[in-house]
């Protein structure tokens, strides 16, 4: 187990004047035992960053250190990391046991040690009764656990997860998230987990790196990212539904800077007899809560309400909402940065 240091990581494709930059100076210090989630939309560079840490992509500029050792020029096999991919990459002709043991056999680990490591990983992942099966006889969730088991037996310094839950259905994703959390608690291995799913990020991360267009927009705990987003991008990306961003809101009423963007979470808009007049365009019923999609002049707002409303408001009707004064966020209209 080890710390991980990223210093001004830059990635370009091509050379000279035709070089295309895709990562723009990523810097982060990750402590030993931490579980870090790298989250962002498709194409933001999160998987490229993970592959650079793994040694599968060359670094254009910057420095990556694992356990205090610079690994820029080391091969993947020399970095003491283990990677779990989106596709399980299991050998179809091998049993679960042999899939998990294969890397250790190549490394010429003694047979007795291999069995001990595989049996221990199988117990942690509840695969003990499946060791003789071939991958085709497993469910998607079981295959993903085998892929994680193959990584565990390596006993690496760092785990790298590249969107490992993307191929699972919704129920299995939740179940496997819980298993990954349990796994980290038991093993404590420094872990980086890449996902585009902000719910996965919020539930798994001890801290998260939010990326956009090759840049790190914010690095912090899920609570800090949700309650104090650093930019309008983070505010709109993290949260389901996203934060309302009002470009021409009534700033003066709440002491906001002139011309600033006002941010307010849907759950912090309170329905009452007075306030902003909003027209309901559509709504979603989500069991214990409703989402009201509303129009206020040229602005689009989402209001989250709970089941305490006796009946759903009618589409086309007008409601009055007031933002909680202690939950307002202000952003620079030009840069998008938090004020």
pLDDT at position 264 is: 95
Domains, the chain, in order of start with CATH, read: 4-236 (3.40.50.300), 242-253+261-331 (2.40.50.140)
Where residue 170 falls among pLDDT bands split at 50, 70, 90?
confident
Where residue 331 falls among pLDDT bands split at 50, 70, 90?
very high
Higher-confidence position of 88 and 160:
160
Higher-confidence position of 86 and 146:
146
Q: Are 103 and 117 in contact (CB under 8 A)?
A: no
Angstrom distance (rounded) from CA 205 to CA 159 = 14
94 token code pair: 């091998």
Put simply, whether the predicted model's pTM sits higher than 0.75 gets the answer yes
Of 57-66, 181-190, 248-257, the least confident: 248-257
Higher-confidence position of 248 and 213:
213
The mean pLDDT of the chain is: 90
Q: Find where tokens 């909402």 sit.
A: 321
pLDDT at position 112 is: 93
User: What's the pLDDT tens digit per position in 114-140?
Assistant: 999 999 889 888 899 999 999 999 988
Mean pLDDT on 316-339: 92
Residue 171: φ, ψ to 5°: -65, -45
pLDDT at position 322 is: 92
Sort strands 190-195 and 329-331 into parallel, antiparallel or unpaired.
unpaired
User: What's the pLDDT tens digit per position in 38-47?
Assistant: 999 999 999 9
Where residue 254 falls among pLDDT bands split at 50, 70, 90?
low
pLDDT at position 297 is: 85
3-state secondary structure of 172: helix
* Residue 250 predicted with pLDDT over 60: no
Of 208-217, 309-318, 328-337, the least confident: 309-318
pLDDT at position 173 is: 84
Peptide bond into 241 cis (omega under 30): yes
Task: Specify whether the backbone of 126 is left (phi greater than 0), alpha (psi in -120 to 50) or beta.
Answer: left
């Amino acid at each position: 187990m080890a710390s991980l240091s990223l210093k001004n990581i830059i990635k370009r494709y091509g050379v000279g004047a035709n070089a295309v930059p895709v990562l723009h100076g990523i810097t982060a210090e990750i402590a030993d035992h931490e579980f870090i989630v790298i989250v962002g939309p498709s194409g933001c560079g999160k998987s490229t960053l993970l592959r650079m840490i793994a040694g599968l992509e060359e670094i254009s500029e910057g420095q990556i250190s694992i356990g205090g050792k610079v690994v820029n020029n080391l091969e993947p096999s020399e970095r003491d990391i283990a990677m779990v991919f989106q596709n399980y990459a299991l050998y179809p002709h091998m049993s679960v046991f042999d899939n998990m043991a294969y890397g250790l056999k190549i490394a010429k680990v003694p047979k007795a040690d291999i069995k001990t490591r595989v049996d221990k990983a199988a117990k942690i992942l509840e695969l003990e009764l499946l060791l003789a099966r071939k991958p085709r006889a497993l469910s998607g969730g079981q295959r993903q656990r085998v892929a994680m088991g193959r990584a565990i037996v390596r006993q690496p310094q760092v785990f790298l997860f590249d969107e490992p839950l993307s191929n699972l259905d919704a129920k299995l994703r939740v179940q496997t998230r819980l298993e990954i959390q349990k796994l980290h608690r038991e093993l404590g291995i420094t872990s980086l987990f890449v996902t585009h799913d902000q719910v996965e990020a919020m539930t798994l991360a001890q801290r998260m790196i939010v990326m956009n267009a090759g840049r790190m927009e914010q690095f912090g705990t899920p609570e800090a990212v949700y309650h104090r987003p650093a930019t309008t991008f983070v505010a709109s990306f993290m949260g389901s539904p996203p934060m309302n961003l009002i470009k021409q809101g009534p700033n003066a009423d709440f002491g906001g800077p002139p011309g600033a963007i006002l941010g307010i979470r849907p759950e912090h808009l309170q329905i009452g007899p007075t306030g902003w007049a909003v027209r309901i365009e559509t709504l979603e019923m989500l069991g214990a809560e409703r989402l009201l999609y509303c129009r206020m002049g040229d602005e689009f707002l989402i209001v989250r309400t709970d089941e305490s409303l006796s009946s759903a408001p009618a589409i086309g009707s007008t409601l009055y909402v007031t933002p909680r004064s202690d939950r307002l966020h202000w952003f620079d209209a030009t840069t998008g940065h938090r004020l």
